[in-house]
Amino acid sequence: MNDANYSLVLFTVLAQGSVGMIVTSYLCFRLAGRGEMPHVRREWIMAGVLLLAGLTASLFHIGHPFGAAAALTHGATSWLSREVIAVCLFGALTAYTIVAMRKSLPASLMLGTAILGVVSLVVSGAAYAPPSLPALNNASPIALFLLTAASIGLASKSFFGPKDDDGFVAQWLIFVLIASIAVRIILPSVWSSGGAVMMKTGQAWFASPVFWLHIVLLAAPIPFLQKSKALKPWMFVAVLAAELLGRLTFFVGTAATYQNIGHLF
């Protein structure tokens, strides 16, 4: 068991949620084939606010937050530096796009921001895959972060119109929620059959009530979405809470190699 790093839980989930909202908003805007839509700018402002809240939360895990700018300086080898750089660039481009949206929707700028958001998410996944955590020292953080972004992004559509998009978004949300649950059950199952440290991680995740609560909250919207294809605000709240609890398990329940020194690996 590790310390609950609430500031990193908030930062990662909110930043990924923000990427998910921007990608979902862009895809709905393109796929629905409509021109000017007033809700799009509102969505992007909301995503920007989420990112800002995440970035602010991230400062609280640093012992000396006023030195945070120095974290931009070691991008040559540090994935954490690269993450900070990518997230800041994504935030700056989001802000610029929101300003540019006052006149009309700048499709290519929106696409560029969405792509940069996904890149920041992948970089962030690499930053949370250190050698000390064998269960996560692979592509699983990236997969988990992508799923977080997709589920929060799609669920956020419950707050923004137009309602015509609901059926299409609901179908995707059902798919993403089922995939999220499957991945979150499969990963600890695989770890449970691995080496000693991976096994401890799998067992700790499965033994945690917080982990199971997050699975229940992820599953909760599925039957309602299947029945009515209508997105409701409570679904966003359930998905956000599920992702926060899931991330808490990610930080608290993942065993490190150094906790096993002196024992068989």
Partner 1 sequence: MSKQLAFYVDSQKCIGCFSCAMACKNMYHPEPGVKWRQVYPLSEDIYPHHERAFYSLACNHCEHPTCLECCPVGAYTKREDGIVVHDQDKCIGCGNCVRSCPYGAPQYNPKLKKAEKCSMCWERIDAKLEPACVQACPVKALRIIDLSEFDDAEALHYPPGFPRFESLNPSVRFKLPRHPHVVRRNG
Q: According to the binding rule CB under 8 A, does residue 204 interact with partner 1?
A: no
Q: According to the binding rule CB under 8 A, does residue 216 interact with partner 1?
A: no
Per-residue burial over 141-176, b if 16 or more Cβ lie within 10 Å, else e, is: bbbbbbbbbbbbbbbbbbebeeeebbeebbebbbeb
Distances (CA, A) of 229 to 54, 72, 162, 243: 30, 44, 14, 22
Alpha-carbon gap, residue 159 to 84, rounded angstroms: 29
Span from 19-27, 89-97, 141-149, 256-264 in contact with partner 1 (CB under 8 A): 256-264
SS3 1: coil
Token readout for 181 is 């649950």
Binding residue for partner 1 (CB under 8 A) from 35, 77, 108, 193?
A: 77
Distances (CA, A) of 151 to 136, 228, 257: 21, 18, 31
Which amino acid, 136?
A: L
Binding residue for partner 1 (CB under 8 A) from 45, 80, 111, 199?
A: 80
Q: According to the binding rule CB under 8 A, does residue 194 interact with partner 1?
A: no
Q: According to the binding rule CB under 8 A, does residue 84 interact with partner 1?
A: yes
Asked if 71 and 84 count as a contact pair (C-beta separation under 8 A), the reply is yes
Alpha-carbon gap, residue 240 to 218, rounded angstroms: 9
Binding residue for partner 1 (CB under 8 A) from 33, 35, 63, 209?
A: 63
Q: According to the binding rule CB under 8 A, does residue 89 interact with partner 1?
A: no
Q: According to the binding rule CB under 8 A, does residue 193 interact with partner 1?
A: no
Q: According to the binding rule CB under 8 A, does residue 99 interact with partner 1?
A: no
**Shortest CB 62 distance to partner 1, Å:** 5
Asked if 213 and 150 count as a contact pair (C-beta separation under 8 A), the reply is no
Q: According to the binding rule CB under 8 A, does residue 1 interact with partner 1?
A: no
Binding residue for partner 1 (CB under 8 A) from 67, 102, 108, 227?
A: 67
Q: According to the binding rule CB under 8 A, does residue 256 interact with partner 1?
A: yes
User: Which residues within the stretch 132-151 sit at the binding site for partner 1 (CB under 8 A)?
Assistant: 132-133
**Shortest CB 113 distance to partner 1, Å:** 24
- Name the residue nearer to partner 1 (CB basis): 64 or 103: 64
- Name the residue nearer to partner 1 (CB basis): 91 or 134: 134
φ, ψ at 166 (rounded to 5°):
-55, -50
Interface residues with partner 1 (CB under 8 A)? 61-65, 67-68, 70-74, 77-81, 84, 127, 130-133, 256-265
